[in-house]
Chains A and B, each alone.
Chain A
C-alpha cells in the first residue's frame, strides 16, 4: 500500500502545468485534492511518471457568477463551494447534493473539478453536471475548448479529456425563477458512494431526471409534463435502458427498483419545489 516512484512538479502557472502535460504524453497526470488519486497511487492502480500539482496555480481558483452559469475553477475545493453563501440562491441542486460527497474531512481537500475528471459513475458532481446541462472547460498548451457534460462523460470512469488537457473549470447553469430541484441518494452509510442517486429539475415545460450509480456514467432523461401512471411507466423504461449490472453492493433488479421508487419521489419533490 505504498505508491510506486514518480516525479513531482508543483506548477506555479497554468503554462507550466500545460507544458509538463504536453511533454510527457499520458505519463504525466494532474494531482488536485488527491482524495481519489492518492489511494489509486497507494494501491498502484495508477502508476504515472510525473504528478503535476495544480493547487498552487493562482489563476485556477475562484467561484464566478456568469450570466447564466456559475464557473467553478480547478482549485476550488468541495467544502469551499458548499460554504459559499450564495450557493443555494444560484443553484439549489448543488446545495442539496454536495453534502453527500464523502465526509467533511474529504470535502475539505477534494476539488469540484477533480470529481468531474475522475468521472465515477456514482459521484454527485458529474450527476449534477449532467442533470443541469453543465459544461466542462478544458485547456492545454495547444488551446481551449468547452464541452457539454453529456459529451464529456463517455464511459466507465472515462471522459473525452485528452491526456494533455486539464479541466480549468466547470460551469453549472444557474437556476431560473420557477425552477424546482430535488436530490435523493441511497447509500449503505452516509458518506459512502451512492448505490443510486437521483437528481430532478422541474420547470414550466416539464421535468428532467438524472440518475447516477446505475449506468457507466450519469444519464438524464426528459419526461416533459408526464404524470401519474404514464410517468411511472416512462421511468420504468428509463430504469431498464440504464442497463444496470450486478455488483458487490446491489444487483441489477434492486438498482432498477431504486430508480423506479426514488426517481418518482425525486421528480415529485422537484415539482413541489417549483415556486
Chain B
C-alpha cells in the first residue's frame, strides 16, 4: 500500500526551535525582517540564540525551565 505521509511546513521541536519549510520572511520583535536562505530553517524559540531569529543550538545548554515547551 502506498500511503500519503504527513509533511508539515512548521514543526515545533520539543525543547528546541521551530522548523520552517520553504521560503519565508520572519519579522523579529524590533520589526527587522529576515529572509530564510535554505529549504528548512530553524527559528529560535528560546530567545537566547546569538543568531536570532535563527536557532544556533544554544537551547541545548539552557536549564529545563528556560527551554521552549
Do A and B interact with each other, yes or no? no
Residues of B within 8 A of A (CB): none
Chain A residues close to B by CB (< 8 Å): none
